[in-house]
Structure 1
Amino acid sequence: VTMADGSKETLAVTQIAGFTAFTAQGPLLYQPASESYQLLPSNSADISARIAGFSQQQYGFVSALFDTSEGGLLKRATEAKAWWKVFSDAGIVGGVIVAVGIIGMGIGLFRLLVLGREAKKIKVQKQQLNTLTDNSLGRIIGVADRHGNSNADELARFLDEAILAELPECRKGLGSIAVLATIAPMLGLLGTVAGMIETFQAITAYGNSDPQVLSSGISKALLTTKFGLIAAVPLMLLHSLLTSKSDSIVHVIEHQSAGLLAQRQQRLNLCVNDSASAPVAVDQQQVTGNV
C-alpha cells in the first residue's frame, strides 16, 4: 500500500466483491499500473466511522462501504473541499456577492431591531397620558399639544408636517436592502457569463479532451449563480418583513393623528355651541325708551 507520504507498507487489506478496498487507516484506490493500492486521505468522518465499525465487528450484520466505481467515488468523497475553498473557487465575483449578502443582512437585522424597539415604545405611549419624546407617536402628540390653540385646519397642517418628518426614519434602509437584493442575482449572472467565457477559452487552448481543464470555469459559473440566489432570497424576505413593520408603524401614527384632529374639531364644535346658547344681556330701560 502506498501511504500518503509516498512510502510503501504491507498492510492487511479488506476487499468487498472486488470493488471496495480499505484498511484500518482508511479507504484504498487500486492502481492497475503498479498492481498496488494507494491510501486515500480520509477527511470524511462518516467514512472513518464506517471503516472502524466494520473492523471492530466480529459477527452479524455490519454496515460497510461499497463503491462500484472501484474507488472513484471514495476518492471524490475523501477529497471534500474545505468551506473556504468553495469561496475561493467562486472567484472575485463570488467574493463580491458574499460581501453584498453580508452587508444587506447586517442592514436588515439592524433595522429590524430598531423597528421592533420603536413598536414597543409606541405601545407604551398609547397606554399612558404623558407625552414621551423617545418615539414617533410621542413626538406627534407633542406637536398637537404645542399647537392646541390652533384651529382644525392649522392643526392638520402641523400634524401632516410632523408625520412627513417621521416617515424617513421609519423607512430608512429599505431602499438599500432592495438594491442589494437586486444586485446579488445580477452579479451571479455576471459570474456565470465569466465562468462560461473561461470554459470556452480553455476549450480553445487545450481542447475538450480533459474534463479537469473545463471544470474550473464551469464550477465558477455555477457557484456564482448559487451564491447570487442564496444572497438574494433572504434579502427579499427581509425587505418584505421590514416594509410590513414600517407600514404598521406609519399606520398607527396616521390613525392617532386623525384621532387628535377629531378631538380638536369636537372641542371647537362644543365651544361654538356653547357660545350660541349663551344668554344675551338686554338693557330694559333702553328697550322701554325705544318703544
Structure 2
Amino acid sequence: MRRGLAVALVTTALLGGSLMAPAPVAAQDMESLLQQIRESGREQQRINREREQRFLRQRNERRSLLEEARAERNAARARAERVREEFEDGQARINALKEKLNEASADLGRAYTAARSTAGDLRAAARTSPVTTQYPERLEKLSAIADNPQLPTLTQLEQLWFLLVEDMTATGQVARFEAPITTVLGNRRQAELMRVGAFSAFSEDGYVLLPEGGTVAQLLPSQPGGRFTSAAEGFFAAESGALLPALIDPSRGRLLEVEAEKPDVAERIAQGGLVGYTILGIGSVGLILAVLQLVYLSLVGGRVRRQLQATDQPRTDNPLGRVLGVVSQEHGRDDAELLELHLSEAVVKETPRLERFQSLLKLFVAVAPLMGLLGTVTGMILTFQSITLFGTGDPKLMAGGISQALVTTVLGLCVAIPLLFLNSLLGARSRALVQTLDEESALVLAQRLEGDSRA
C-alpha cells in the first residue's frame, strides 16, 4: 500500500510540474485523478502479488526438481558403486581363472609351439627335397600347421607325426615311382623317377631337380658329364636289389647344377680366343715334329745297334754304316790324316739329320709362354673395358676377359712344358747317336794308325 501511494504521489508531482495550467484545476478533475491513482495502485499490487505467487511456484518447482536430481544422482552413485564392485569381483575371478588356465595349458602351449616350429623346419627342408617329388601333398599339410595362428588340432598333430616318420623312412630308401617332370623345353610329362634317399633323383634322361617351393621336378638344363651321368644311367638301369655306386648330393641338386655349369675342354679352349687357338696350333705342330723325329731316332738307333754287331760289314741304311763305309773307299787308304778328315766329314753330314727339328722346338718352347702372356694382356684389356662400360656390379660381365687371360696362360704353359721335355729327349737321343759315331770313327782311325805303325 505504501509503495503504491508513493508511486501515485510521484506521478501526481510529475504531472503537476510538467502540465502547469494557467487556471486552477476543477475539483472533479482532482477526484478523477485520485481515483485513477488508486486504481493504478491496486492494479500494481495485483501484478506484484501475481509475480510473487509465480516466483513462489517456480521456486517450489525448482526445489522439487533439485531434490529429484539429487535423488537420481545418489541412485546413480549407488548403482555405479555396485557395478564397480561387481566389475572388480569379476576381474578378480577372471585373473584367477587366467592363472588356472595358464598353469593348466603351459605344457600344452609349449607342445603346440614346438609342433609349429617343427612343421616349419620340415617344410623348409621339404621344399628342395626329392622326397617331395614322391609325396607332393605334404607341403600343403605342413603349411596348414606352420602358418596356422590358432592351436593345431589333434588331427594336425597326428599328421605332423606321420610326416616326420615318413621323411625319416624315405631318407634311407632307394625308391622308384611315377611322377610328373618338366623337360628342358618346359613341357610336362609323366616319367619314372628313381630317388636315392633325400639327396638325389634322376630319370632315364638324367638328373632332376626340385625347384624351391615347387612340387614338380624338372630336368637339369645342362647335365653333368663324365662319371656323373654314367653312374646315374647305370644305377637307373640296374635291377632291384643290385649293389651299385650312386652319386649323393648333400645339397639336394645345387652341387649338380654347379658341376653341370662347368665348361668342358672344348669350351675352355674357346675361352682363350684367337690367341688360344694359335698356341694350340704351335703346340700341335711341335708335337707332330717331335713325334716324327723321335720315331726316326728310334729306328736309326736300332739300326746303329745292329751295325755295331757287324762293323766289318757296313750298310748304308744307318749313319754308322755310312760313316764306316768311308774306310772301305779308295781315297785316303794310305794317309791316316786324310782318312780322319773324311770320317769327320761323314759324321758332320749325319749330324743335321739326327738333330733335326730341335732348334724349331726350342723356338716353340720359348714362343708358347709369350703367346700366353699376350693372351693374358688381351684378356685384361677386355676386362677393363667391361668395367669402364658396365662397372663392377655384375662380375659375369668381366668373366670373359678374365677367362681369356687365365686360359691363354694355361695353354701356353701346357704347350711349352711337354715340348721342353720332348726337345730334351730328342737332344739326348741325338747326342747319344752322334757320340756313337764319334767313338766308332775314332776306333777305326786308331786301328788304322796301329796297322800303319806295325807295317
TM-score by shorter chain over 0.5: yes
Q: Residue in 2 aligned with 1:240?
A: 424
2:414 pairs, out of 202, 225, 230, with: 230
Cα contact 2:366–2:416 (8 A) shared by 1: yes
Cα contact 1:21–1:29 (8 A) shared by 2: no
Q: Secondary structure at the match of 1:27?
A: strand
Q: Residue in 2 aligned with 1:139?
A: 322
1:28 pairs, out of 195, 209, 212, with: 209
Cα contact 1:67–1:74 (8 A) shared by 2: no
Q: Residue in 1 aligned with 2:187?
A: 7
2:399 pairs, out of 191, 215, 225, with: 215
- Report the TM-score, using the length of structure 2 for normalisation: 0.52
User: Which segment drifts farther, 250-259 or 152-161?
Assistant: 152-161
Matches within 5 A, 1:1-150: 2-8=182-188, 22=201, 24=203, 26-28=207-209, 30=211, 38-41=218-221, 42-44=223-225, 46=228, 49-50=231-232, 53=235, 65-68=248-251, 71-128=253-310, 129-146=312-329, 147-150=331-334
Q: Secondary structure at the match of 1:208?
A: coil
Q: 1:22 to 1:207 in 2, by over 3 A?
A: farther
Q: 1:89 to 1:239 in 2, by over 3 A?
A: same
Counterpart CA distance in 2 for 1:76 and 1:266 is 78
Cα contact 1:97–1:228 (8 A) shared by 2: yes
Cα RMSD between the aligned structures?
Answer: 3.0
Structure number with higher relative contact order (C-alpha < 8 Å, ≥ 6 residues apart): 1
2:431 counterpart of 1:250? no
Cα contact 2:202–2:232 (8 A) shared by 1: no
- Report the TM-score, using the length of structure 1 for normalisation: 0.79
Shift of 1:139: 1.4
Counterpart CA distance in 2 for 1:52 and 1:255 is 62
Counterpart CA distance in 2 for 1:104 and 1:61 is 44
Q: 1:63 to 1:258 in 2, by over 3 A?
A: closer
Counterpart CA distance in 2 for 1:29 and 1:197 is 41
2:444 counterpart of 1:260? yes
Shift of 1:14: 6.2
Q: Residue in 2 aligned with 1:196?
A: 380
Cα contact 2:272–2:403 (8 A) shared by 1: yes
Cα contact 1:50–1:64 (8 A) shared by 2: yes
What letter matches 2:211 in structure 1?
A: Y
What letter matches 1:28 in structure 2?
A: L
Shift of 1:79: 2.9
Cα contact 2:380–2:401 (8 A) shared by 1: yes
Shift of 1:95: 0.6
Counterpart CA distance in 1 for 2:380 and 2:372 is 12
Q: What are the superposed Cα offsets for residues 189-231 of structure 1, whole Å, 9 maximum, x if unpaired?
A: 1111111111111111111111211111111111111111111
Q: 1:127 to 1:62 in 2, by over 3 A?
A: closer
Q: What are the superposed Cα offsets for residues 61-103 of structure 1, whole Å, 9 maximum, x if unpaired?
A: 99563343x6443212223434322222211111111111111
Q: Secondary structure at the match of 2:356?
A: coil
Counterpart CA distance in 2 for 1:136 and 1:81 is 50
Counterpart CA distance in 2 for 1:35 and 1:92 is 46
Shift of 1:43: 4.0
Of the two, which has the highest radius of gyration?
2
User: Which segment drifts farther, 135-144 or 75-84?
Assistant: 75-84
Q: 1:14 to 1:37 in 2, by over 3 A?
A: same
Q: 1:154 to 1:220 in 2, by over 3 A?
A: same
Q: Secondary structure at the match of 1:30?
A: coil
Shift of 1:241: 0.7
Counterpart CA distance in 2 for 1:48 and 1:269 is 78
Aligned length: 267
User: Which segment drifts farther, 244-253 or 21-30?
Assistant: 21-30
Q: What are the superposed Cα offsets for residues 47-66 of structure 1, whole Å, 9 maximum, x if unpaired?
A: 573598489878x9995633
Q: 1:180 to 1:221 in 2, by over 3 A?
A: same
What letter matches 1:150 in structure 2?
A: D
User: Which segment drifts farther, 1-10 or 224-233?
Assistant: 1-10
Cα contact 2:200–2:247 (8 A) shared by 1: no
Give the % identical residues. 32
Q: Where do 4+ consecutive residues of structure 1 move more than 6 Å?
A: 10-17, 54-58
Counterpart CA distance in 1 for 2:324 and 2:184 is 76
Q: 1:130 to 1:64 in 2, by over 3 A?
A: closer
Q: 1:29 to 1:132 in 2, by over 3 A?
A: same
Q: What are the superposed Cα offsets for residues 94-132 of structure 1, whole Å, 9 maximum, x if unpaired?
A: 111111111111101110111111111112222222221
Gapped regions of structure 2 (runs ≥ 5)? 1-180
Cα contact 1:125–1:132 (8 A) shared by 2: yes
